Amino acid sequence: MAQLRQARERLDAKDLPGAVAIYDEILKTPAGDRADVLVTISGDLGSTGHVRQLIELVAPRYDAARHGAAAGFNLLQGYIGIGEPEPAQHLLDLLFGLNRPDLEERLFGYSNAISELLLSGTLGNPAGGMTEAPSAETPKVGVATISKPVWFYGLEALADQILPVKGAKLRNVAFSQLALPGTAGKTYDEIARNFTEVLRLSTALPTWLTEIFLFSPSYAPVAAVAYIDRPGAPREPMVFEAEWNTENLRLLVESGNTNLDYVFTGAIRQHAGDFELILRLWEVKKFRERKQFSLRWTPSTANSELNKLREQICLFMEWQPMPAGSGLPYAFPPAPRAWLDLLGASLDLFVAEKVLQTSRFVAPLDAARRAADAAAPATALASLAWLTTEHRALLQQVPLPEGGPELNSDPLVAAAQDALTHG
């Protein structure tokens, strides 16, 4: 302790090299592995603005189970202070692993700060100073879950004819929106301009998988879409630069999905016309990764590769179709890439109406209309998807392409038109 006091005196005297030399000497001894020693070193370096030295000295030695939370919080503040979200998130997972209910409020506050750092990069202090613990003014990330096909909403009066009837023992699975690597530090408008296609796919793909698993007797699926609330600003869609991790899964569970058995997470990127996708299957009970699925495609191979992905997921999850006569007949779309455009537009409009309360973030509907032109005549399901998309666009005054697709002749489609007109 006398050496620690000497080191602090060196820091107060602006002699950083002298203080670091003392710390190095202490950390080479058995005392250097004591929790109180690491707390003092990290606290003194952080409070005097020497965050990088804090990280260099403490991070290689810190063990959450052995040293407890106090030094971990100092180290976590250091990572956030210099704008390093990935090691901060890893450390946060370790601190959550301590299973300390008395720490959860602080930990969730840091989780929000890290999410914001991933999105905008504005929380880091380039000078290396410490960042205060997140306050009530910190932007907060929330998760909206969608438990029905996104095109179903608005047709609740026809639920008995559309939705399948299932038993009581179901496996609960969530499909989270996909991360977009390379978007850190960019505003949502910049991402919408420069990452247009993968931005749409990042939410459309989980929505499609949710639809597939809803039409299976063994599953109760949800799609999970995140948003961000900034103090004094309108709510915006949330874009993750890094894949969802165990902390994001906890956020999803905390949002009310306490019965989840599995969660799919992942990331999607585009490079020189090629697309890369990775999906991870997590077992929620143990927050353990069970399986990875990876995929690459070009515009010309999109349909075949997306169908392969769907086959692999359904095989691994032991997906089975609904028996005949239970709800609307469901068939996998022959052109899934176009179907994703229609689902993505429907989701954009649904989220704009129910979550964001503004249509500013809805992309043009031309691709969705082309998808409807091709699919709606063949199936009642595709016709319903276009009808609810069109209806929601009209309500929100989002421009629609001229004309309209030919609709399927199933009486359910006519009933849906009547329900949307008079509902």
Q: What is residue 416's predicted lDDT score, i.e. its pLDDT?
A: 96
pLDDT number for residue 116: 57
Q: What is the DSSP letter of 43?
A: H
pLDDT at 130 over 50: no
What's the pLDDT score for residue 304? Answer: 97
Integer angstrom CA distances of residue 127 from 116, 177, 219: 19, 34, 50
The answer, yes or no, to whether residue 293 has pLDDT greater than 70, is: yes
Burial class from Cβ neighbours inside 10 Å (0-12, 13-18, 19+) for residue 136 reads exposed
Point out the least confidently predicted range of 79-83, 148-152, 165-169.
79-83
pLDDT at 257 over 60: no
- Whether 107 has a pLDDT exceeding 80, the answer reads no
pLDDT band at 254 (very low <50, low <70, confident <90, very high): low
Percent of the chain with pLDDT over 70: 90
Q: How does residue 118 score in pLDDT terms, banded at 50, 70 and 90?
A: low
The pLDDT, as a whole number, for residue 127 is 31
Contact residues for 152 (Cβ-Cβ < 8 A; gap 6+): 159, 162, 163, 384, 388
Residue of 47, 25, 48, 37 lying closest to 70 (CA atoms): 37
- Indicate the angle between helix axes 196-214 and 302-316, nearest 10 degrees: 40
User: HSE of 342 in the Cβ direction (CA atoms, 13 Å)?
Assistant: 28
Query: Average of pLDDT values for 409-421?
Result: 95
* Choice between 367 and 355, residue whose per-residue pLDDT is larger: 367
State yes or no: pLDDT of 366 exceeds 90. yes
Mean pLDDT, rounded, for 210-229: 93
The pLDDT, as a whole number, for residue 115 is 61
Give me the chain's average pLDDT, please.
86
Model pLDDT, residue 122: 35
Q: Is the pLDDT of residue 215 over 80?
A: yes
Which stretch of 189-193, 309-313, 379-383 has the lowest confidence by average pLDDT? 189-193
Q: How far is CA 46 from CA 11, 51, 86, 365, in A?
A: 11, 5, 19, 51
285 has pLDDT over 90: no
Whole-angstrom distance, CA of residue 353 vs CA of residue 347: 10
Residue 186 in tokens = 């960019």
Average pLDDT over residues 260-266: 92
Could you list the beta-strand ranges (E) of 272-341.
274-283, 288-297
Q: Which residue has the tokens 């290396």?
A: 128
Strand partners, 262: 173, 283
The string of pLDDT tens digits covering residues 183-210 is: 888 889 999 999 999 999 999 999 999 9
pLDDT higher than 50, residue 126: no
Q: Which domains does the chain have, with CATH numbers?
A: 2-120 (1.25.40.10), 140-422 (no CATH)
Distances (CA, A) of 393 to 285, 331, 400: 40, 26, 7
